[in-house]
Amino acid sequence: MALRLQFAVASDIGRHRQENQDRWLLREELQLAAVADGMGGMACGAEAAQRALDTVAALVARSVPASPAEWQRLLEDANRAVFALGLELSPKRGIGTTLTLARWNGTKLTLAHVGDSAALLWRDGVIEQLTPEHTVAAEVLSRRSAGSAERMPHGAEHMLSSCLGLPYLPQHDVRVIDLLPGDRLLLCSDGLTKPVNLQSIGETLAQAASPEDAVVKLIALANAAGGPDNITALAGFVAR
């Protein structure tokens, strides 16, 4: 019997925002899930996130991408759609959103990713972040590790180096991995990963009785840590 992911999702405004600009997409029949976090520092973040997910939904309804190259083209198409909306809604400043998407075909899990939302995998007691952060801070740290003495700009942890809504995508990532019985996948916005450390997220995933239990507890964990941003958690569990 082919492995299937059992999904659940929850989203919360957090404790300091006036609007929830996170959006999510779940197509269980396609084993496809995505989280988009509209950029709060720019206009129309919620509209940007929704346009990205609407574009993804329309494209996969026509044909589900079957290769990394096709997923890359889907990201580029979503970027163009968000950029075009930005020209209408905020022509001077533009709009932007992250997108982290996962699709399980029964054999392989494909991740398509732009921005600083995240895909995490818990397996046999170990939690791993599967997606890189497309932020100025991450780029500076990477250059420092290569020997550069580059200064960290003020507020760099909040500055994206790539997102949907730009004239072109500076960075985007597509990755294909295996899943095993007992694996627990999490897609989430940075409203979870910024205030809550990776170990605590892993422990919550490990102890959860179900995907529904996991997302409720993760939202509560982020709010208990101050809830500085909108929080979205989308869990997919593989039965043992």
Q: What percent of the chain has pLDDT over 90?
A: 82
Q: Looking at the domain that runs over 5-238, which CATH code has it been given?
A: 3.60.40.10
90-105 per-position pLDDT tens digit: 999 999 999 999 999 9
Model pTM? 0.92
Confidence of residue 160 (pLDDT cuts 50, 70, 90): confident
pLDDT of the residue at 155: 61
Domain boundaries along the sequence of the chain: 5-238
Select from 36, 39, 41 the least CA-distant residue to 55. Answer: 36
Task: With H, G, I as helix, E, B as strand and everything else as coil, classify residue 233.
Answer: strand
Taking 90 as the threshold, does the pLDDT of residue 60 lie above it? Answer: yes
Taking 70 as the threshold, does the pLDDT of residue 147 lie above it? Answer: no
pLDDT of the residue at 154: 59
Taking 90 as the threshold, does the pLDDT of residue 175 lie above it? Answer: yes
Taking 90 as the threshold, does the pLDDT of residue 208 lie above it? Answer: yes
Q: What is the mean pLDDT of the chain?
A: 92
Select from 16, 22, 21 the least CA-distant residue to 215. Answer: 22
Cα(127)–Cα(202) distance, integer angstroms:
5
- What DSSP state is assigned to residue 15? S
Select from 161, 162, 138, 158 the least CA-distant residue to 150. Answer: 138
Torsion of CA 35, 162, 169, 23, to 10 degrees: 20
The residue type found at 55 is: T
CB 172 within 8 A of CB 162: yes
